[in-house]
Structure 1
Amino acid sequence: MSKTKVAIIGSGNIGTDLMIKIMRLSKVLEVGAFVGIDPESDGLKRAERLGVPITAGGIDGLTKMDGFADIEIVFDATSAGAHKHHNEVLQAFGKRVIDLTPAAIGPFTIPCINGEQNLDAPNVNMVTCGGQATIPVVAAVSKVSKVHYAEIVASISSKSAGPGTRANIDEFTETTSLAIEKVGGANRGKAIIVLNPAEPPLIMRDTVYCLCDFADEAAITRSIEETVAQVKSYVPGYRLKQAVQFERFDDSNPLFIAEMDKVFTGLKVTTFLEVEGAAHYLPAYAGNLDIMTSAALATAERIARRQQNDRIVEEV
């Protein structure tokens, strides 16, 4: 069976890494177009050298390309503001859209949590790099105990944060916080991102704090470890940095949650994660890029397989 043709809008770090991943790893996808707005960008030049059809004309240039009609799935790796316009144009042409910006127009999608639920949605949102890394842990705790509050801190190398990432900082915190609640299952979510200027650059590190009801600590640990293994199946560099930590708060030492203006008693679950990139385009410290592009690739492949199966059924 022929591969599903896809287009990538955004010739920066994320778009270029995604293009290379698809070309090296995917058995069901083929890059039919690579789109940017700067003809001198490294991404566009690299795509051209690799024989991928390119345009520096943005979304309008994409719709005018000879092979646009054959494109079935479009990845948007630009910015939250630009995505709104891109999505309107692409929906008018009936294209399936995978949003790698924090625009959050379509349903939040994290492969190991709800990857099968949104395959028919016209637009799916990949949340953020911090969301892809940490929300699976919140969801894992939620499977065992009610999570009243979850806070994540994503620390990434400043060198791995391009113009698009920097332009989306506010959207990052808002989108990730909302997804912690809607996908992770927490009553209240909070997200913090740190751009670390350290030299040599540090790889992505994430800390997840969950305040939940008292529960079997071994069961929570087991749920987190199983979830980490699921994420690792499509993000090889994803791992626990150390053992899951627990702290108990009862009536004798309650914890005040300022964000919720309430006193909490129960378990505090702390999880430390590390995400090493596959270095397909940028160095291994750019795990924040790797987890986004890996999650988007996994989602697109599921959508493509669904479309291919539907066509087989129709032909029968």
Structure 2
Amino acid sequence: MSDKVKAAIIGPGNIGSDLMIKVLRNAKYLEMGAMVGVDPSSDGLARAERLGIPVTSDGVEGLLKLDVFDKIDVVFDATSAGAHRHHDEVLRAHGVQIIDLTPAAIGPYVIPAINLESENAPNMNMVTCGGQATIPIVAAVSQVAKVHYAEIVASISSKSAGPGTRSNIDEFTETTRAAIEKLGGADRGKAIIVLNPAEPPLIMRDTVFVLSELADQAEVEASIARMVAKVQSYVPGYRLKQRVQFDVIPANAPFNVPKLGPRHGLKTSVFLEVEGAAHYLPSYAGNLDIMTSAALACGDMMARRRIAAGIARGLQELA
């Protein structure tokens, strides 16, 4: 059994190209098998071809026709929510593990710092860049106290928001909100994305507001610190911008949470920034780097499981 699993990437744009470089440089159990696009003049396809990676500009159908397809076990989709639905339908029929970097949310939400070890579905959804950055903080508060409401604001450089991001703004907000509740543990969530046109471009900055039941502030801060360290293990540029801030919301002056009504307790405010590793993209594009880093962590885990399953089958056959 090979110690590497071949992976294909659909979408040779900024995200796909950065992910390709990460697989080539940092993957433990994955190796590049193919790069897939729909534009023959794509810079990403040309770059992959120069690196000796099989390419096709005929989309997912072209991938099926490549000689290497029979050896590909993992496919990353870095296209759009609409395109992913078709890709998922085609690839599932071939038993391929799919890792979805679009907001399509066909499969379960996966954030490595929260639930990577516990999920093992044919299609794994990487939520959104804002979700990857902020939901771990909500989950950290949830580990200490019940969370009534969580609101996140993801501010990214306009230059790091490509066509895919811009065409999926609605999906971004809905997918991130749902994941705040599903993975973060909030009764109610809200997500906002801001495209910042500032020059020179600013790195990704995120704000997280969490309203929970009253809890020991030191315990909440310690839980957040542990979660930040977990995310930093696969996204080194992820960090707190300043110390966690707390406000006690008294019962006689509660917040009105939409669809929940008045709530009081502990308000926790967390300010983050994400600096990209600059493997392919500029360092200010932390929003893209955190997605590709999380996807690589997910892909490596899926590959490791496939290798382990292959070894187990081999041992059974020898027994």
TM-score, normalization: structure 2? 0.97
**Match of 1:313?**
312
Report deviation, 1:261: 5.5
Within 5 A, what are the aligned runs for 1:56-75? 56-75=57-76
Report deviation, 1:251: 2.6
**Match of 1:135?**
135
DSSP 3-state at the match of 2:242 = coil
CA separation in 1, counterparts of 2:28 and 2:233?
A: 16
CA separation in 2, counterparts of 1:254 and 1:27?
A: 49
CA separation in 1, counterparts of 2:260 and 2:106?
A: 30
Report deviation, 1:10: 0.3
**Match of 2:113?**
112
Report deviation, 1:263: 1.5
Amino acid at match of 1:263: P
CA separation in 2, counterparts of 1:17 and 1:167?
A: 20
DSSP 3-state at the match of 1:251 = coil
CA separation in 2, counterparts of 1:77 and 1:221?
A: 34
Report deviation, 1:203: 0.2
- Conserved 8 A contact 2:76-2:98: yes
CA separation in 2, counterparts of 1:24 and 1:286?
A: 19
CA separation in 1, counterparts of 2:246 and 2:31?
A: 45
CA separation in 2, counterparts of 1:57 and 1:303?
A: 26
What percentage of residue pairs aligned between the two structures are identical? 67
- Find runs of 4+ consecutive structure 1 residues off by over 2 angstroms: 251-257
CA separation in 1, counterparts of 2:41 and 2:196?
A: 28
Within 5 A, what are the aligned runs for 1:155-304? 155-257=155-257, 259-260=258-259, 262-304=261-303
CA separation in 1, counterparts of 2:167 and 2:291?
A: 17
DSSP 3-state at the match of 1:73 = strand
DSSP 3-state at the match of 1:22 = helix
DSSP 3-state at the match of 2:67 = coil
Amino acid at match of 2:300: E
User: Runs of 5+ in structure 2 lacking a partner?
Assistant: none
- Conserved 8 A contact 2:3-2:307: no
Question: 303-312 or 129-138, which moves further after superposition?
Answer: 303-312
Amino acid at match of 2:5: T
TM-score, normalization: structure 1? 0.98
Report deviation, 1:239: 0.3
CA separation in 1, counterparts of 2:301 and 2:222?
A: 27
Give the number of aligned pairs: 314
DSSP 3-state at the match of 1:32 = strand
- Conserved 8 A contact 2:251-2:265: no
User: Runs of 5+ in structure 1 lacking a partner?
Assistant: none
DSSP 3-state at the match of 2:186 = coil
CA separation in 2, counterparts of 1:217 and 1:304?
A: 39
Instruction: Say whether 1:91 aligns with 2:98.
Output: no
Instruction: Say whether 1:41 aligns with 2:42.
Output: yes
CA separation in 2, counterparts of 1:92 and 1:264?
A: 47
CA separation in 1, counterparts of 2:295 and 2:245?
A: 30
- Cα offsets for 1:114-140 (capped at 9, x unmatched): 001112x11010000000000000000
Amino acid at match of 1:122: P
| Aligned residues: CA RMSD | 0.9
CA separation in 2, counterparts of 1:267 and 1:155?
A: 25
Question: 41-50 or 83-92, which moves further after superposition?
Answer: 41-50
Instruction: Say whether 1:30 aligns with 2:31.
Output: yes
DSSP 3-state at the match of 1:72 = strand
Amino acid at match of 1:107: P
DSSP 3-state at the match of 2:8 = strand
CA separation in 2, counterparts of 1:28 and 1:161?
A: 30
Report deviation, 1:208: 0.4
Question: 239-248 or 260-269, which moves further after superposition?
Answer: 260-269
- Cα offsets for 1:50-82 (capped at 9, x unmatched): 111111111111111111110000000000000
Report deviation, 1:39: 1.4
CA separation in 2, counterparts of 1:255 and 1:178?
A: 21
DSSP 3-state at the match of 2:87 = helix
Amino acid at match of 1:39: P
